[in-house]
């Protein structure tokens, strides 16, 4: 960031900032960025590509001495935690900037009981509730937020194009389910007398999968609006159990407690809530039948977000110009797609209008070491951001 001529600092949630003042500091600022963190066993482009594209574009303007000609301040923000892998709460960095991170987030523990506040303190960052509120940006001082991000899906690759524009981002809910039965000896408790939390969890997980594959089999909806909700659900509803653990986790012990996560996403917020309501009812029925208890905690909730049309059309022109600069041919149009993946833009939409550019990734693979973006497509991302920033000169 400093090589790109930016003024830099790290804030109290660990977000890394780089700012170019532009020719008029009192103008509303353009924020541009993505997240520094990744999931476990991740690729190297999810998050980082958006940060590097922004810095490299500003570096080009710095080298050509045009940073000072920008009509507004431009600030790159590398957000500290978007994935929520460690503390099960996502957008810790961007939600702080947009003022929607609750103070309670500072006390959220990771699996070994270390809280967010502890981790920041171990990195010599002291933060209090007041400090957290002080991080919120004034909406009046912000013009918009833009993010370049890998698509994490197959659409751009099948369209044969490196760049696309994001129309909106699916809403998402994260649940933590704890099933408690009675711990026992694997060799002596007759099957008919077991309260097996693991077997119960397995039945709940299979229920979740069939509910998300065929929501129309589960939701008795008859009105016109219910039917349109069902159509939107069926096209976009996805559910995932990514984590499961049990106690005491020994091969010859019937687990007394089994815990697992549920990640549910859909473009339709009402539909997503209807699914969660139906799922919870059915889960409790199964657990009652099995004489085990079931506690369902909502760990994270983010409604679907629509990208700003004005920003999106400017980003589309920038993408088309970048593709022309790379291929030498005029590209008539860029794909416009919805994002099933969550992004910092969801949190930033509470602060300002948001726009996103998607970058093709091989096979649409992400959240895996196999995640890959070709050099030319990395170049296209940087050129698109540069072209967008040139519209701010
Ligand atoms: O889970 C997501 O959609 C994002 O990668 N945080
Ligand atoms: Mn991710
Ligand atoms: Mn991401």
Ligand nearest to the CA of 34: 3
In ligand 1, the atom with minimum distance to the C-alpha of 341 is: 3
CA of 367 to the centre of ligand 2 (A): 6
Residue whose C-alpha is closest to residue 337's, from 91, 163, 82 = 163
Query: Which pLDDT does position 245 carry in this prediction?
Result: 98
Give Cα separations from 193 to 184, 187, 259, 290, 293 (angstroms).
Answer: 10, 12, 22, 10, 16
Query: pLDDT at residue 106 above 80?
Result: yes
Mean pLDDT, the chain, whole residue set? 95
- Distance of CA 219 from the midpoint of ligand 2 (Å): 30
What residues flank ligand 1, with Cβ below 6 Å? 82-83, 90, 341-342
What does the pLDDT read at residue 126? 93
Give the Å distance between the CA of 342 and the centre of ligand 2.
7
For residue 10, which phi and psi values (nearest 5 degrees)?
A: -115, 130
Candidates 45, 334, 319, 345; CA nearest to 169 is 345
Output 221 or 10, whichever has higher pLDDT: 10
Q: What is the C-alpha radius of gyration for the chain, rounded to an integer number of angstroms? A: 23
pLDDT digits 0-9 by tens, 225-276 = 667 777 777 778 999 999 999 999 999 999 999 999 999 999 999 999 999 9
- Report the relative pairing of strands 171-180 and 293-302 from DSSP bridges: antiparallel
* Beta carbons of 252 and 187 less than 8 angstroms apart: yes
Span 309-366, pLDDT tens digits: 999 999 999 999 999 999 888 889 999 999 999 999 999 999 999 999 999 999 999 9
Asked if residues 348 and 305 have their Cβ atoms less than 8 Å apart, the reply is: no
> What count of residues does the chain have?
393
Q: Which domains does the chain have, with CATH numbers?
A: 2-170+304-390 (3.40.630.10), 172-302 (3.30.70.360)
Determine what percent of the chain is predicted with pLDDT higher than 70.
98
More confident residue, 132 or 236: 132
Query: What's the pLDDT tens digit per position in 226-235?
Result: 677 777 777 7
Query: Residue 82 CA: which ligand 1 atom is closest?
Result: 6
Please choose, from the candidates 262, 351, 309, 301, the residue with its C-alpha nearest in 3D space to the C-alpha of residue 171.
301
Q: Does the pLDDT of residue 181 top 70, yes or no?
A: yes
Model confidence pLDDT, tens digit, residues 14-64: 999 999 999 999 999 999 999 999 999 999 999 999 999 999 999 999 999
Residue 270 burial (C-beta neighbours within 10 Å; 0-12, 13-18, 19+): middle
Checking if the pLDDT of 224 tops 70, the result is no
Helices 197-213 and 269-289: crossing angle in degrees, nearest 10, is 150
Q: Which of 41, 48, 79, 82 should be mutated for ligand 1, with most atoms under 8 A from CB?
A: 82
Share of residues in the chain with pLDDT > 90 (%):
91
pTM tops 0.85, yes or no: yes
The conformational region for residue 353 under phi > 0 = left, psi -120 to 50 = alpha, else beta, is: beta
Residues in Cβ contact with 61 at an 8 Å cutoff, skipping those fewer than 6 apart = 20, 67, 70, 386, 389, 390
Question: Candidates 89, 172, 342: which one to mutate for ligand 1, based on the most atoms within 8 Å of Cβ?
Answer: 342
Q: Ligand 1 centre and the CA of 83: distance in Å? A: 6
Predicted local confidence at residue 221, as pLDDT? 60
Q: How far is CA 107 from CA 39, 98, 114, 150, in A?
A: 21, 19, 9, 32
Rounded Cα distance between 234 and 213, Å, is: 8
pLDDT at 183 over 80: yes
In this structure, which residue's CA is closest to atom 6 in ligand 1? 83
- 179 and 283 in contact (C-beta within 8 Å)? no
Asked if the model's pLDDT at residue 153 lies above 90, the reply is yes
Pairing of strands 16-20, 74-79: antiparallel
pLDDT at 373 over 90: yes
Contact (Cβ atoms closer than 8 angstroms) between residue 49 and residue 378: yes
b/e sequence 374-384, b meaning 16+ C-beta within 10 Å: eeebbbbbbbb
| Mean pLDDT (whole number) for 154-175 | 96
Who surrounds ion ligand 3 at CB < 5 A? Answer: 46-47
Ligand 1: atom nearest CA of 83 is 6
């Amino acid at each position: 960031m400093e090589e790109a001529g930016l003024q830099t600092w790290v804030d109290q949630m660990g977000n890394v900032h780089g700012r170019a003042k532009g020719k008029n500091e009192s103008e509303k600022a353009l924020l541009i960025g993505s997240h520094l963190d990744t999931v476990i066993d991740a690729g190297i482009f999810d998050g980082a590509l958006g940060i590097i594209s922004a810095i490299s574009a500003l570096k080009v303007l710095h080298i050509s001495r045009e940073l000072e000609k920008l009509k507004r301040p431009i600030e790159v923000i590398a957000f500290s935690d978007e994935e929520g892998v460690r503390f099960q709460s996502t957008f810790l960095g961007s939600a702080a900037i947009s003022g929607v991170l609750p103070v309670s987030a500072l006390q959220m523990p990771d699996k070994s009981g270390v809280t967010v506040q502890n981790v920041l303190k171990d990195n010599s960052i002291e933060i209090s509730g007041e400090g957290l509120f002080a991080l919120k940006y004034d909406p009046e001082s912000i013009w918009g937020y833009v993010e370049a991000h890998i698509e994490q899906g197959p659409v751009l690759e099948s369209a044969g194009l490196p760049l696309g524009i994001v129309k909106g981002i699916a809403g998402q809910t994260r649940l933590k389910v704890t099933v408690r039965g009675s711990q026992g000896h694997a060799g002596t408790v007759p099957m008919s007398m077991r309260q097996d939390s693991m077997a119960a969890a397995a039945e709940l997980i299979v229920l979740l999968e069939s509910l998300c594959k065929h929501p129309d089999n589960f939701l008795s909806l008859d009105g016109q609006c219910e039917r349109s909700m069902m159509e939107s659900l069926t096209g976009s509803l996805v559910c995932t159990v990514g984590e499961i653990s049990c106690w005491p986790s020994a091969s010859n012990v019937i687990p007394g407690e089994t815990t697992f996560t549920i990640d549910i996403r859909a473009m339709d917020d009402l539909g997503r809530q209807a699914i969660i309501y139906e799922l919870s009812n059915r889960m409790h029925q199964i657990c009652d039948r099995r004489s085990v208890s079931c506690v369902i905690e909502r760990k994270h909730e983010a409604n679907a977000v629509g990208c700003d049309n004005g920003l999106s059309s400017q980003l589309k022109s920038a993408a088309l110009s970048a593709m022309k600069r790379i291929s030498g041919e005029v590209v008539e149009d860029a794909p416009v797609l919805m994002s099933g993946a969550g992004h910092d833009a969801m949190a930033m939409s509470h602060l300002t209008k948001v726009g996103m550019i998607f970058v093709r990734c091989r096979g649409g693979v992400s959240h895996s070491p196999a995640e890959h973006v070709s050099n030319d497509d990395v170049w296209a991302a940087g050129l698109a951001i540069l072209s967008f920033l040139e519209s701010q000169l």
